[in-house]
Amino acid sequence: MTPQAFLLGILVSTLIGALFHVWRGGKLSRLLLYLGLSWLGFWSGHLVAGELGWRFAAVGPLNLGMAVLFAMVFLGIGYWLSLVKVERK
């Protein structure tokens, strides 16, 4: 992977996490959670697509389509799991 593709991946995944934070709102801790989930999902999607040989909306060596899809799935699941409230007795 070229440094330019890696930088594009970081920028796209950061943008996805930041836009999710703008949409759902929250504090700084939520922004960090969304960015982390977006990065993790993005690079997981890229690696899974590469291992399976899938090429969906690829930009150079970056499997952008599957990476974006995985980032959104990770964000959705992470958001859903973060809604759990702990009741203290």
pLDDT at 79: 92
pLDDT at 57: 85
Contact (Cβ atoms closer than 8 angstroms) between residue 38 and residue 16: yes
Average pLDDT over residues 3-15: 92
* More confident: 59 or 16: 16
How many other CB atoms are found less than 10 A from the CB of residue 13?
25
pLDDT at 43: 94
Closest of 67, 72, 68 to residue 52, by C-alpha: 67
From residue 21, give the alpha-carbon distance in Å to each of 1, 3, 28, 80, 81.
29, 27, 9, 14, 15
Condensed to tens digits (0 to 9), the pLDDT of residues 29-66 reads 899 999 999 999 999 999 999 899 888 888 888 899 99
pLDDT at 2: 87
Question: Which sign, positive or negative, has the C-alpha torsion 50, 77, 16, 56?
Answer: positive
